[in-house]
A and B are shown apart, each in its own frame.
Chain A
Amino acid sequence: MTQDSLYIIASVGLFGIGLYGVIAAPHILRKILAINIMSVGVFMLLVTSAKNVNSTPDPVLHAMVLTGIVVAIAGTALALFLAGKIHALSEASDEDSH
């Protein structure tokens, strides 16, 4: 059980847990959390394959993951904003029907 295989198991496990969460979780915030967990799994797989034993790790993959982290938080911010807006509008339509 090498270090690489441990982190491969962790990354595929995170991706699977996130995918199950997107499918099965009822509330929208939970789905957004699950999407973030999926992206963390993907980043872990990229960084594991960037690791070399002898020399410095692969910097191109690190740069890609860094870009990915920043774009993931931007996407999460937009998704949370849209979720809040839909929540407010659906509450308003509930009030009108009362």
Chain B
Amino acid sequence: MNFNILIDSCLVIGILTLACLCLATRNLFTAIVLFVSLGLLIAIAWVRLDAPDLAIAEAAIGAGLTGALLLATWRQMRVERAHGDADSPKKSGGENVSNP
């Protein structure tokens, strides 16, 4: 089999599987992390499609910054914890690194 087609088909299968898994998991944190990894696979796909500028931009913006924004909002909404926990005030962004 042609090597290029093999690489491309593995990439496409990985992208579609990650997209399905991202929307099918029950845990929201898992969905966000899968979305970040989907963004990284898409960056590799841009390289395969001869678009290096898009690959750099997708890796930085699409995977990195969107993941950070989503995780910040997820923490703000405190979905996984009980209802009463969500009223405690947030101090600074430094708390993100200590809580899993």
CB neighbours (8 Å) of A57 from chain B are 49-51
Count, A-B residue pairs, CB within 8 A:
123
Residue from B4, B19, B35, B46 within 8 A of A47 (CB atoms): B46
Interface of B (DSSP majority class)? helix
Q: In the bound complex, what is the Cα–Cα distance between A25 and B48 (angstroms)? A: 32
Interface size class for chain A? 35 or more
B44 CB–A CB distance under 8 Å: no
Interface size class for chain B? 35 or more
* Contact in complex: A69, B54 (CB < 8 Å): yes
Q: In the bound complex, what is the Cα–Cα distance between A21 and B28 (angstroms)? A: 13
Of chain B, the residue at the smallest CB distance from A94 is B83
A residues bordering B, Cβ < 8 Å?
1-3, 6-7, 9-10, 13-14, 17-18, 20-21, 25, 27, 29-30, 32-34, 36-37, 40, 43-44, 47-48, 50-51, 57, 62, 65-66, 69-70, 72-73, 76-77, 80-81, 83-84, 87, 91, 94-95
